[in-house]
Structure 1
Amino acid sequence: MTDSEKSPGPRARAAGKRRQLTAAAARVLHEQGVERTTIADIAHAAEVPAGNVYYYFKTKDELVEAALAEHSGRLRELTDALDRLPDPRARLKGLIEAWVSGRDTAARYGCPTGTLAAELGKREEGGLDLTAGRVVRQLLDWVEQQYREIGAADPGGRALALVGAYQGMSLLSQALRDPEIMTREGERLIRELDASA
């Protein structure tokens, strides 16, 4: 095998750099927020020279959009894995357990999508707030489907209540810097699932 066969081509390298920047944007925007984050911050986190970022993303808003796509992709990976469980109640419990497993991050920075949605919703110019809303809707739709399969009355309302509980426990955990809020509330949500018909 020659060296050229071993090393990735320019297209693969470019895709790798773009992926690196997208993952870094998702992390840094979650940790710092949109307004406090600079393109240089994201470039530093991705270990890419700041000037090279513009080859992949022309504006910071394009990076924010890519970060939201990253959150959407992670959510899809999680729900795809949970969909392999045979029972919708087990899937919902798995979702809650996944939320609780991120308690330390939630206590420091809040929910990745929820914090971005809240911040983007305050902007005067629209667009990215709607993109963030679509990620939240993706979660709501999946949760509603699980309640529908369980045969719960008002599956849409139940989905809103569960996702709202997650957003609330993330916010309180962050505000009080107490990851155990996530643990306690997650246990309560699982008990409610077990008790519901």
Structure 2
Amino acid sequence: MTDSEMSRGTRPRAKAAGKRRQLTAAAARVLHEQGVERTTIADIARAAEVPAGNVYYYFKTKDELVEAALAEHAGHLRELTDELDKLPEPRNRLKGLITAWVSGRDTAARYGCPTGTLAAELDKRDEGGLDLLAGRVVRQLLDWVERQYGEIGVADPEGRALTLVGAYQGMSLLSNALRDPEIMTREGDRLIRELDAPA
């Protein structure tokens, strides 16, 4: 096989991977903004700028798109925590996490926490297991936060992780319910002050 034949063979695969990636990113965004029940495959196709009929080549059902969206959220979280893990001090990693949460305050005020809102909505379904996948993304965050508290040496790092992540979910919910992004700012500042306080 010549180089040009090989490159022609890889081009369709790369194009297909790009389309799948577009659909996954669009699904994460549209499902967050509209919710699972109100979102159609056509909505996601439109947001991804892909013909609606082509979606079925990559995803057979809307649930598969929801699963892909959850994987997208998990990937974003992994990228963030990998970046924060480059900081040498765990307290600064946690502050960086809070700062990242606050930087998304406008989106949270409009739509809530991407994973939290999906988890709450999916929990109301009778079947499918997607609620458990959403729970895994939340668990991924909790485990990372718990490791940071463990490195700091606080008593009950698991409890502290639950408190911090619960505070984030609470401030996202209140910010969304009251359409007030400054709740995120104020609560984020408070959480950072608590981290700075002597143990």
Instruction: State TM-score, norm by structure 2.
Output: 0.96
Amino acid at match of 1:70: E
| Residue 100 of structure 2, aligned match among 98, 101, 105 | 98
Q: Secondary structure at the match of 1:9?
A: helix
Distance in structure 2 (CA, Å) of the matches to 1:57 and 1:91? 36
**Shift of residue 126, structure 1, vs aligned partner:** 3.9
Distance in structure 1 (CA, Å) of the matches to 2:8 and 2:187? 50
Q: Secondary structure at the match of 1:20?
A: helix
- Where does residue 138 of structure 2 map in the other structure? 136
Matches within 5 A, 1:1-197: 9-197=11-199
Distance in structure 2 (CA, Å) of the matches to 1:11 and 1:45? 22
Moved more, 121-130 or 60-69: 121-130
Query: Over aligned residues, Cα RMSD in angstroms?
Result: 1.6
1:30-51 Cα shifts (integer Å, max 9, x gaps) = 0000000000000000000000
Greater than 6 Å deviation, 4+ residue runs: none
User: Which segments of 5 or more consecutive residues in structure 2 lack a partner in the other structure?
Assistant: none
Amino acid at match of 2:131: D
Amino acid at match of 2:141: L
**Shift of residue 115, structure 1, vs aligned partner:** 0.2
Count of residue pairs the alignment pairs up: 197
User: Which segments of 5 or more consecutive residues in structure 1 lack a partner in the other structure?
Assistant: none
Amino acid at match of 1:189: L
Amino acid at match of 2:166: G
Distance in structure 2 (CA, Å) of the matches to 1:91 and 1:77? 13
Amino acid at match of 1:34: V
1:32-81 Cα shifts (integer Å, max 9, x gaps) = 00000000000000000000000000000000000000000000000000
Distance in structure 1 (CA, Å) of the matches to 2:8 and 2:14? 12
**Shift of residue 5, structure 1, vs aligned partner:** 5.3
**Shift of residue 7, structure 1, vs aligned partner:** 10
